[in-house]
Amino acid sequence: MTQDVLMQWIIVLPLLAIPGILLFHKKPNLREAATLIVGALLLIAVIAFYQGFDAGEAPYVHWWELMPGLDIAFRAEPLGVLFSLVAGSLWLVTSIYAIGYMRGHGEANQTRFYCCFAIAISGVMGLAFADNLFTLFVFYEVLTLSTYPLVTHAGTDKARHGGRVYLSILLSTSILFFLFAIIGTWSETGTLAFTAGGVFDDTTSKTVLSVLLVLFIFGIGKAAVMPFHRWLPAAMVAPTPVSALLHAVAVVKAGVFTILKVCVYIFGIDLLADLAVTDWLLYLATAGVLLASLVAMRQDNLKKRLAYSTVGQLGYITIGALLATQAGVLGGALHIVAHAFGKITLFFCAGAIMVAAHKTEISDMRGLGKSMPITMIAFFIGSMSIIGLPPAAGMWSKWYLFMGTLEADQLAVMIILMISSLLNIAYLLPIPLRAFFDGERSVVTIQRDQIKEAPWPSLLALSMTAIMTMVFFFWPQVFYGLAESLASVAGGTNG
């Protein structure tokens, strides 16, 4: 199979799970087997595609032209391949987790859940390989609309309210800012194609460029740049597999992926470095990292604490793009990977605790490690990755982000990122430590004999992602190679 055919299969393959899911909606084992089989095939396909790309093949596929200059087309480049590997890996793992969670928690509407999940992953793959801003925008909106039923899955008033906040913020930022930025780019350049070094020339005024950059940064609402971040905590009413999808596999990663892609392929880091507004946006993103970390510390609900943690961690990737340096781009791309595997582990653990122990508040989890040791060990490993401690993958991404701040002579930004990492320690590590060493003060000790680990599919999934966060510390070569290629493109070299 040629690379261009394989790339198209990667985009449509998740949709092929839907007929099987619908056909076997009354036979859960067969319904979920359809999801797992297609998920495994997708993983095989993205790995095979990466191998071809690594060998020097970079296919281009044109589907159709809506009107002159507005094409649905796809092209492989390092960041898109990196994103497809992350999403392809984690869809299968999240599907395994969802089987244990959805059954263990007795969730209704599971057929709809798996169908919407498949559409969302197809949207992610289309977005990852988008050759131009128009194609990216189409799949960006497909992702928004396909995840709305997942956010409102419970059907309660609280879920519907969370869904309204989710949809209103993401659609309004897309239409009012992102779409206008795309139109402005087309008006100035006559092209929407992602181009190494950017699409603007010296004839475009810096005022216009500054306005467009602001529109892009705030219009890409999925990146949760403050003050357009409220949708993310609001969406925590969704089941935990959906939270994992939002925070690790698809939605927020689509946001920061898009910011990185726009900064590298639409503006170019040399042009970004010349714009005064870039520094202001950089400082805004840095302030958002600090504020999100402070808010996370105050949350007793575990999923809300993790949600605000995600807002802060996304800021790291936005900062990497706005530093306008090769090290910053490299660190931002690596943080997409490190945060994905670390944060999905934490959300998997939160869901396992809720299903097995019926605990959602951190203050109720003292001593839980004696009943759920595998879950809490996995939580500890995921926490180390988010903090940036070895031997977890987050260390590499934060290292290069810090190098990027030095390269850009942004000492204040580096100091804030270090403070944020200390706050990460303060709001994450006490959770597993108290679970293992503070049992005497807990109500859980009374119930310890009744509490066991979550169903085995969930336990298997969270163990896999925890292990992978450490594997990527010792063997980061695949993702590092792709991130380094992206940084080389950003720096205008061939290496």
Q: Which stretch of DSSP H or E encloses residue 110? A: helix 110-128
Does the bond joining 227 to the residue before it have cis omega, within 30 degrees of 0? yes
Rounded-to-integer distance, Cα 271 and Cα 203, Å: 12
In our burial notation (b when 16+ CB lie closer than 10 A, e otherwise), range 53-77 reads: beeeeebebeeeeeeeeebbbbbbb
Rounded-to-integer distance, Cα 194 and Cα 258, Å: 11
Say whether pLDDT at 443 is over 50.
no
Q: Which stretch of DSSP H or E encloses residue 354? A: helix 326-357
Say whether pLDDT at 212 is over 70.
yes
Q: Which stretch of DSSP H or E encloses residue 70? A: strand 70-75
Give me the mean pLDDT over the 421-441 stretch.
86
How does DSSP classify residue 267?
Answer: I
Rounded-to-integer distance, Cα 195 and Cα 372, Å: 50
How many CB atoms sit inside 10 A of residue 422's CB? 10
**Residue 238 and residue 333 in contact, taking contact as beta carbons nearer than 8 Å:** no
Rounded-to-integer distance, Cα 35 and Cα 435, Å: 34
Say whether pLDDT at 444 is over 50.
no
Rounded-to-integer distance, Cα 18 and Cα 35, Å: 8
Q: How confident is the model at residue 446 (pLDDT cuts 50, 70, 90)?
A: very low
In our burial notation (b when 16+ CB lie closer than 10 A, e otherwise), range 8-33 reads: bbbbebbebbbebbeebeeeeeebbb
Give me the mean pLDDT over the 54-60 stretch.
90
Rounded-to-integer distance, Cα 23 and Cα 261, Å: 38
Say whether pLDDT at 282 is over 60.
yes
Q: What percent of the chain has pLDDT over 90?
A: 72
Of 35-49, 104-118, 205-219, 370-384, which range is least confident? Answer: 104-118
**In the prediction, which pLDDT does 51 show?**
95
Q: What percent of the chain has pLDDT over 70?
A: 96
**In the prediction, which pLDDT does 406 show?**
95
Query: Mean pLDDT over all residues of the chain?
Result: 91
Give me the mean pLDDT over the 160-176 stretch.
93
Q: Which stretch of DSSP H or E encloses residue 196? A: none
Give me the mean pLDDT over the 431-457 stretch.
71
**In the prediction, which pLDDT does 491 show?**
80
How does DSSP classify residue 361?
Answer: B
How do the residues of the chain divide into helix, strand and coil, expressed in percent and rounded to 5? 75, 5, 20
**In the prediction, which pLDDT does 23 show?**
92
**In the prediction, which pLDDT does 440 show?**
55
Q: Which residues pair with 361 in a beta bridge?
A: 301
Give pLDDT tens digits for 121-140.
Answer: 999 999 999 999 999 999 99
Rounded-to-integer distance, Cα 495 and Cα 493, Å: 6
**In the prediction, which pLDDT does 290 show?**
96
Say whether pLDDT at 194 is over 90.
yes
Q: First and final CA of the chain: distance in angstroms?
A: 28
Q: Which of 412, 254, 401, 419 is nearest to 323 (CA)?
A: 401
pTM beyond cutoff 0.75: yes
Give pLDDT tens digits for 239-269.
Answer: 777 777 776 778 889 999 999 999 999 999 9
Say whether pLDDT at 236 is over 50.
yes
